[in-house]
Structure 1
Amino acid sequence: MAQLLNLKTFTDTRGNLTVIERVIPFDIKRIFYIYGVDDSVRGGHRHKKTFQAAICLRGSCKILNHTGFEKQEFLLNSADQCLMLDPTDWHQMHEFTEDAILMVLASEFFDADDYIYESYECQALLIQ
């Protein structure tokens, strides 16, 4: 289940320093960032084994999350917020501001076979 964490941040007259160490509960194998997004929706999947941590470094975006039982929507609008996503969290990123930079830390290297694109609603329709 997705969880929003506040990252430890040190602030003084020189600016802010946000620390990620000892917060992410997995070894980081992949880092990517999404930016320059128009009004598109990104994501639309979950994973078989990849855990993720999403941090909006600049601007803001929303992440819709579905656990199979519950839908949640998170607004990421501060570089000291980190959204933890479990592999079973089906998620979509949307409503990116023009200046948004969303960084994602992942527990696994890219593997196309790790992606599950069907939403939980789609799977429920297939069962009926």
Structure 2
Amino acid sequence: MSLINLIDFPSLGDDRGSLVALESHQSIPFDIKRVYYIFGTQKGVSRGFHAHQQLKQVAVCVTGRCRMVLDNGKQREDVWLDSATKGILIEDMVWREMHDFSEDCVLLVLANEHYNELDYIRDYDCFLNYFVGNEK
């Protein structure tokens, strides 16, 4: 089973431009409780390098592009996010890294919970150790 779960968002619009609507339990498969975006990432800088114990997220590059790496402790996959009409669902207990940000990249992230530092796993070895004796 692939870790890459892309969501296609319908683009609405006319000769004035385009619009993408992101709605809880419609285009986004959960209640949206937090929204943030990453921008201005310097060339050569990577971000992420963590997992969440319970948090689910959808990430969308609303402009520019970046490469998302997902890892569930057994397999590791990467995908380019480069379209405002395509998002990626990131489940809980999935290690995530973001690399190769374009200069104009704006990465929008929608989360099903509010920020909680205790939900983060920031050490990759600790993340892998979770799976020893545990099957997800």
TM-score of the two chains, using structure 2 as the length reference: 0.85
- Counterpart check, 1:65 vs 2:70: yes
Gaps of 5+ in 2: none
Q: Distance in 2 between matches of 1:62 and 1:7?
A: 19
Aligned residue for 1:72, secondary structure, equals: strand
Report Cα offsets for 1:67-101 as digits up to 9, x if no partner. Answer: 11211101011100111000111000110000100
Report Cα offsets for 1:92-120 as digits up to 9, x if no partner. Answer: 01100001000100111111100012226
- Counterpart check, 1:85 vs 2:97: no
**What residue in structure 2 maps to residue 97 of structure 1?**
102
Q: Distance in 1 between matches of 2:79 and 2:121?
A: 21
Of 4-13 and 70-79, the range deviating more from structure 2:
4-13
**What residue in structure 2 maps to residue 27 of structure 1?**
31
What root-mean-square deviation, in Å, do the aligned CA atoms of Structure 1 and Structure 2 show?
1.7
Q: Map of 1:37-56 to 2, 5 A cutoff?
A: 37-38=41-42, 39-56=44-61
CA contact (8 A) 1:2 1:89 kept: no
Q: Distance in 1 between matches of 2:9 and 2:50?
A: 26
Aligned-pair identity in percent equals 34
Q: Distance in 2 between matches of 1:34 and 1:85?
A: 16
CA contact (8 A) 1:28 1:108 kept: yes
TM-score of the two chains, using structure 1 as the length reference: 0.90
Larger % of strand: which? 1
The aligned length equals: 125
